[in-house]
Amino acid sequence: PGGDLPFLGSVLRRAECVRRCEEPRLGAVSRHRAAEEVRADFQRRVPYSYLQRVYIQLNKLEEAANAAHTFFMANPEHMEIQQDLENYKSTSGKVSLVDREARQHMEDYSAGVRHYDKEEYELAIGLLERALQGYYSEDEDCQIMCEGPQRFEEHEYLDYKAGLYEAIADHYMQVLACKHDCVRELATRSGRISPIENFLPLHYDYLQFAYYRVGDYVKALECAKSYLLFHPDDEDVLENAGYYEDLLEGTVDPATIKPRKEARALLRRHKLESHLLQVAAAGLGYAYTEPNYWNRYGARQDEHSVPSSISSEPEDGPRLSLTKKPMPKPSRELKEGGPLLYSDVKFVYNSEQLNGSQRVLLDNVISEEQCRELHRVASGIMLAGDGYRGKTSPHTPNERFEGATVLKALKYGYEGRVPLKSARLFYDISEKARRIVESYFQLNSTLYFSYTHLVCRTALSGQQERRNDLSHPIHADNCLLDPEANECWKEPPAYTFRDYSALLYMNADFEGGEFIFTEMDAKTVTASIKPKCGRMISFSSGGENPHGVKAVTKGQRCAVALWFTLDPLYRELERIQADEVIAMLDQEHLGPSEMNINPKDEL
């Protein structure tokens, strides 16, 4: 009776209750419902950037360092803040920094995994259990926050002409999509777009083996069954669960041990949300695609790989299998050792000798005379801050940065502002480098230029004493390096389309400036290379090759920096224009430079 009135009456009473609870505690709506721009600034932790400056003025360096660190955790690409952090460490000796917005469930999870890695299973269990409690508490908060105001992206509010039930459905779908995405939100570190894959199931996966190692087979089976809710066909954990059941035989009926209630409830709710969203997508034209929230490849890749397969017939009781779970295969097979194409190019070190993967060091890529000529043209075309929006010291305040592109060199040559032959040399040697990289790494498809930059770093006099920063901080070329998480996030603002990188050095008459590879912790140096004329280092651009440049403390260090892509959609626009200039010059019979990269010069 009453049709929809009982339902709508309950909605009105709920709205009144929410309003009555909010105002006494939070004040008027205008005080606690912030504009979208303000919410975005807080999400990016912008206030901490200002807070850092305030603390500096108050001479509170420790608080300033923590504020800078908190901002940096959400903005890892921010070079100025990174440099500020290095300065704090050197001036105050402060090494441990506090992220004031850290999510406790993620901190507990990371700490638990570290203890697990050290085989400190009792400590790991305590932290991972606390991480789970924090996760489910944060999930409740996330669900509630989704019930706030929503944006109707497909409708301009003033022109919105939906009827009652359409309006309710539109709003509810926005809320439901937000709630459904809490799984991703709670698995995503600050400042990142991509979540930690398989985040919630991994808690149970670590716990099932940790409980086994401390002799609590009931809890081990409980956690194994909880993990199997998410991945019921995981052979490793199925095998483990069977083994735990055998251990409990005669003492406890394994059928009485159930997956954890909170895991069952969350997964049941998540499946229902997914069903409703897909119904709306099919019947109401609501745009929705279900993401893969429980990616099975989100597993640790170390000697104690999880999930853990336990052999049923070991020599001295149960043991941990060291078999690793297969990771997604790269889109192409990684090779190296192909021909260098040019008889004068000298091989120096391969990946193994450089303690990494997809790395090569070569000498004599260009001659001493070509280095000198390239240096002369550089002095005539380089602009301070080129490529960094005019910032003359983009990476460190202790050096001046200058650069120029191939197209600029050719235009200056065509206009007679620098020798045309010298400008053409820049173009030709970059093409020679591209061909060598493509051949050595045995790429089956064309390698395109993504960006080509002639760069010089000059030590600024009077600023080199007690210097402990880097000329270029440790980074990766196609992902955002996160040393604390031991991850590299392949997402904007990183240049995710870059596949290979190369640096061709022009001189050695400076101090410092060594190129270094590190582990993903950005601290452990795996290889150090001293630049010299004609030397080229090339490597794949991903998180497997974090690298940086040590401080240039005297003189000027110059190189041709090259980034390449296998995707023609991301070809360097200036390179295409430079190709057109070269074609025009050839038509005018101006000829190539004495670079001589014709087939007769090849091996």
CA distance 489 to 499: 15
Rg (CA), the chain: 29
The total of other beta-carbon atoms located within 10 Å of residue 157's CB is: 7
Contact 140, 233 (CB under 8 A): no
Unique residue bearing structure tokens 């099975």: 296
Q: Is the peptide bond before 254 cis (omega within 30 degrees of 0)?
A: no
* Best CA proximity match to 286, nearest among 155, 142, 148, 147: 155
Pairwise CA distance, residues 312 & 333, whole Å:
36
> 184 Cβ partners below 8 Å, 6+ apart?
195, 291, 293
Instruction: Pick the closest to residue 318 from 209, 166, 188, 170 (CA basis).
Output: 209
Bond from prior residue into 493 cis (ω within 30 degrees of 0): yes
**107 SS3 class:** helix
The b-or-e profile of 477-495 (16+ CB within 10 A means b, else e) is bbbbbbbeeebbbbeeebb
- Cβ–Cβ under 8 Å, residues 518 and 546: yes
367 and 534 in contact (C-beta within 8 Å)? yes
Closest CA to 499 of 480, 520, 516, 477: 477
Eight-class DSSP state of 158: G
**For this structure, is 184 an active site residue?**
no
Distance of alpha carbon 202 from alpha carbon 128, whole angstroms: 10
199 Cβ contact partners less than 8 Å away, ≥ 6 residues apart: 109, 186, 187, 298
Instruction: Please tell me the distance from the alpha carbon of residue 561 to that of residue 553, in angstroms, as a whole number.
Output: 20
Structural contact between residues 497 and 570, judged by C-beta atoms closer than 8 angstroms: yes
Write the CA distances from 192 to 178, 187, 369, integer angstroms. Answer: 17, 10, 47
- Rounded to whole angstroms, the Cα distance separating 424 from 416 reads 12
Compute the C-alpha angle 297/299/305, nearest 5°.
130
Q: Comparing C-alpha atoms, which of 587, 570, 556 is closest to residue 449? A: 570
Residue of 189, 424, 434, 557 with catalytic role: 557
**Two structure tokens written together for 9:** 């009456």
> 531-548: string of b/e by CB count within 10 Å (b at 16+)?
bebbbbbbbbbbbbbbbb
What is d(CA 29, CA 33) in angstroms, rounded to the nearest whole number? 6
173 neighbors 286 (Cβ within 8 angstroms) = yes
For the chain, the 3-state helix, strand and coil shares in percent, each to the nearest 5, are: 45, 15, 40
Question: Tokens 């295409």 label which residue?
Answer: 576
Enumerate the active-site residues: 557
